[in-house]
Chain A
Amino acid sequence: MNAVPVAAPTRLVDVTVDGTTVKVAEGTTVLQACRGAGCDDIPTLCYGDTLTPKNACRVCMVEVEGSRTLVPSCSRKVEAGMVVHTDTERVQHSRKMVLEFLGSSTDLSVAPHVADWNEQYAVDVDRYGPDRRTKAQPVKRDNELYVRDYEKCILCYKCVDACGEQWQNTFAIAVAGRGFDSHIAAEYDAELPDSACVYCGNCIAVCPTGALMFTSEHDMRADGSWDESRQTETDTICPYCGVGCQLTLHVQDNSIVKVTSPSDHSVTHGNLCIKGRFGFQHVQNH
């Protein structure tokens, strides 16, 4: 019997990244092509490996020859013969400005990588003056399981996409307002217990800045006891139902401090439900 091809064979196209020409499959993003060419240091914030790129943060911009503006590498698809520059003065300027805009308006203190990038791109938020508008606001603690600290929110849309159409289909939150006043909210900025939230925590899993955080992690950070160097990660299978989601238990001092699931896991893609995500208290009633 002859084999039946199930999909059209992918064409390979040539793309040049910082002088190195690589062959990549058509439909690949510029970001993937750059990584394939050995360029690993393109910063990303709103990009998530389990979500459709929203390309809202604009920190991953690169220069593509022939394009009037810079191009978001996380979402732009490669084209045959594309010539990409990832580290020109123009690119550096744009990344520096995006990081300054975010740093001058939001609290990026627990966002991974940002401190390094700030140094690399000589970010200076003080030049925006002491009277600049920021997103400073009180932390929202309206349920026991997780807190929302929107002073840390960069409006990457990931939580909205994870809660809505792309994963959870709950649509408890959306972007409301416009411009600088845009913010993530349930209807009429209602508290979570009055919203459609089912506490799956899939928004926490994708949040790149720590704006959404387990209450356990938030409180430990607040009292100074959060210490990732003392944490172990143990993979196990959720015992609650037959789906069999893979759990990663983050344990510090013999207590589970948060639960995640690997984003590349074929069952969960990083998602869980309330039981897998938060139902760990009973194992540590000591």
Chain B
Amino acid sequence: MDLKLSAHTPTADEIDAIDALLGATGEYDHRLARAGHDLRDQRHRLLPVLHAVNDRVGWISRGAINHIAARMDVAPAEIYGVATFYGLFSTTERSTRQVHVCVDLACQIAGATVPDGAHESPCLGLCERAPAVLLVEAGPQARQTVLAPATPVQVRALLDGGAAPDEAPAEVATPQVAAGADDLVLLGRVGVVDPTSLHSYRSHGGYAALRRAIEIGPVGVIREMLDSGIMGRGGAAFPAGRKWDAVARQPARPHYLVCNADESEPGTFKDRVIMEGDPFSLIEAMTIAAYATGCEQGWIYLRGEYPRARRRLTDAIEQAVAHGLLGDDVMGAGFSFHLEVFLGAGAYICGEETAIFNSIEGFRGEPRNKPPFPVEVGVFGKPTVVNNVETLANVLPIVLGGGQAYASVGTTGSTGTKLFCVSGAVARPGVYELPFGATLREVIDLAGGMREGSTLRTVLLGGAAGSFATPDELDVPLTFEDLRAAKLSLGSGVVMVLDQHVDLTAFVHRIAAFFRDESCGQCVPCRVGTMRQEEVLQRLEHGGPNASADRELLADIGRVLRDASICGFGHSAHGAIESAIAKLGVFS
């Protein structure tokens, strides 16, 4: 391509950061072409390169983009389009120290305030210890640290240059572990195993499942997955065995595996706990998935705001490679599997499975049209398995104990155990593991019941994309089928408990603001609809003469979002608001 670059030049730091990732250039021989496919095939390194620059200098300048453009043969306008898509990047100069204060649902009700100089952040996935803050420090030794709960004084100190105290250990988020529960399947190793040690993982039963998988072969693994009846835990509840089977059967090669670790649904933090507390289990599960479905390359698409999960996973992958558990000949069994952590950069929509593909490929994280579905045409146009972290975590017990044994837990339509992300007005917020079929009441009881002085007003079930359950719905069994029948949804397992102190109007408004902020902007119903939805809510908050017309307009907006949007984001952007109006009488 004929690149035309502006006169802006990169700084030495920017060049260094970019070249460190892409390799040094050396002197150009100007008689040789240095563009073309070889360079453009590197497009999937665009997001990592943008991270490198943003990490080094704190923002992405015109000079830096010019250097990236020249190195990768991608036009500056395209790079700018990608850089401006992600919330963690800036294309205007700013300080190397950024404080992101979570203002999302759990933190809002915990009283989060944003001092001058800090950014408002969508959910940071630390809801069990809300309110939460993320500190990003750019420089040669770039660092990200989270702090939760964060007092206003602590946030101020971070802004003034103070260091963040050490993060609490992952098992703080799993009160069941602390209470000594011994029947946990997915959380069994969290807080018990040393998450930084492969040796420790192995001495706690690690890699027995992969050995078993190799014994029964790919077909055997897929049979167990089908027998298990496991449904995806990322929100869409698609049978994982069928997905694997479909990819395994695709003649097109190569096949790819993507673990969806974007976990950005407000109120969701279960995947974080697994990745921080038992990272090797995810790697082992992905290796089994890759073996069964014929994938030689996999990515863990991790949201950019999970620094500890990133450290743990990167470190665990290195150890697994060093011990022949990843790489060209896994366990000497004659198959190869390469795994990388791919870091998101602040965009909820990148959790949508096809948006992940665009993000990995170095494009704006806009969802693709379906069909074709990922099992046929996924990342780089190849058959792709996309699974949520928790879904994958279930692979180990399925392979070890057999699909049928697994299916004996839970109900016929919802097999196995489920992780619930309990936050809000309970005594002990955290991630709880229970068999499907437990009731909301049981989950809340397990979390210590209501906090002292709190009475239950409502539960936000399934996150911003979910809906509200009322106190008389506490005995609905938490299964996909029962909740569907009750017009509720489990989504990603969010159980956010709201008490009498919560300002429901502000809470619902925040849901609308979240959807307006996070819409990718690609399709009209969602790009404009999420904006209009928030505006109408704002008008309704102030009452006024047109309230009944406005309520009708709101319903119209909800309907077109659901009917005509491209992806699940738009489809679900009105559900919680609709249920708040219908069931809680908000705005009436």
Chain A residues proximal to chain B, CB less than 8 Å: 55-59, 61, 69-70, 72, 75, 90, 93-94, 97-98, 101-102, 104-105, 127-129, 131-133, 154-155, 164, 169-182, 185-188, 190, 194-196
Kindly list 8 other residue pairs between chains A and B, CB separation below 8 angstroms, not including A57-B523, A196-B77. Answer: A56-B524, A61-B564, A97-B556, A154-B524, A155-B521, A179-B518, A179-B530, A180-B516
Q: Are B84 and A128 in contact (CB under 8 A)?
A: no
Q: Are A61 and B563 in contact (CB under 8 A)?
A: yes
Contact A174/B369 with A58-B564, A133-B535, A179-B521 known, Cβ cut-off 8 Å: no
Contact A187/B79 with A98-B560, A171-B1 known, Cβ cut-off 8 Å: yes
Q: Tell me the residues in window 505-536 of chain B with beta carbons closer than 8 Å to chain A beta carbons.
A: 516-525, 527-532, 535
Q: Are A195 and B77 in contact (CB under 8 A)?
A: yes
CB of B244 within 8 Å of the partner chain: no
**Chain A residue with the shortest CB-CB distance to B528:** A101
Q: Are A187 and B553 in contact (CB under 8 A)?
A: no
Q: Are B75 and A172 in contact (CB under 8 A)?
A: yes
Q: Are B4 and A196 in contact (CB under 8 A)?
A: yes
Q: B77 contacts which chain A residues (CB < 8 A)?
A: 171-174, 176, 185-187, 195-196
CB of B562 within 8 Å of the partner chain: yes
Q: A69 contacts which chain B residues (CB < 8 A)?
A: 562-565, 571
Q: B3 contacts which chain A residues (CB < 8 A)?
A: 196
Interface string of B544-573 (1 = CB under 8 A from A): 000001000100110110111110000100
Q: B6 contacts which chain A residues (CB < 8 A)?
A: 187, 190, 194
Q: Are A180 and B347 in contact (CB under 8 A)?
A: no
Per the CB 8 Å criterion, the residue count for chain B at the interface is 51
Which of B6, B77, B531, B532 is packed against the most chain A CB atoms within 10 Å?
B77
Q: Are A128 and B78 in contact (CB under 8 A)?
A: no
- Expressed in whole angstroms, the Cα–Cα distance for A196 and B530 within the complex equals 34
Q: Are B76 and A187 in contact (CB under 8 A)?
A: yes
B interface secondary structure, majority: helix
Q: Are B369 and A175 in contact (CB under 8 A)?
A: no
- Expressed in whole angstroms, the Cα–Cα distance for A90 and B560 within the complex equals 9
Partner pick for B78 among A56, A102, A174, CB 8 A cutoff: A174
Q: B520 contacts which chain A residues (CB < 8 A)?
A: 178-179, 182
- Expressed in whole angstroms, the Cα–Cα distance for A94 and B518 within the complex equals 22
**Chain B residue with the shortest CB-CB distance to A77:** B371
Contact A196/B527 with A175-B81, A182-B521 known, Cβ cut-off 8 Å: no
Q: A127 contacts which chain B residues (CB < 8 A)?
A: 549, 553
Which of B3, B520, B522 is packed against the most chain A CB atoms within 10 Å?
B522
**Chain A residue with the shortest CB-CB distance to B76:** A187
Q: A170 contacts which chain B residues (CB < 8 A)?
A: 2, 75
**Chain B residue with the shortest CB-CB distance to A53:** B369
- Expressed in whole angstroms, the Cα–Cα distance for A180 and B530 within the complex equals 9
CB of B80 within 8 Å of the partner chain: yes
Q: Are B571 and A101 in contact (CB under 8 A)?
A: no
Partner pick for A174 among B80, B531, B560, CB 8 A cutoff: B80
Q: B330 contacts which chain A residues (CB < 8 A)?
A: none
Q: B516 contacts which chain A residues (CB < 8 A)?
A: 179-180
- Expressed in whole angstroms, the Cα–Cα distance for A176 and B518 within the complex equals 14
Q: Are B519 and A101 in contact (CB under 8 A)?
A: no
CB of B421 within 8 Å of the partner chain: no
Q: B84 contacts which chain A residues (CB < 8 A)?
A: 176-178
Contact A180/B563 with A129-B535, A171-B75, A196-B4 known, Cβ cut-off 8 Å: no
Q: Are A133 and B364 in contact (CB under 8 A)?
A: no
Q: A164 contacts which chain B residues (CB < 8 A)?
A: 75, 78
Q: A155 contacts which chain B residues (CB < 8 A)?
A: 521-522, 524, 527
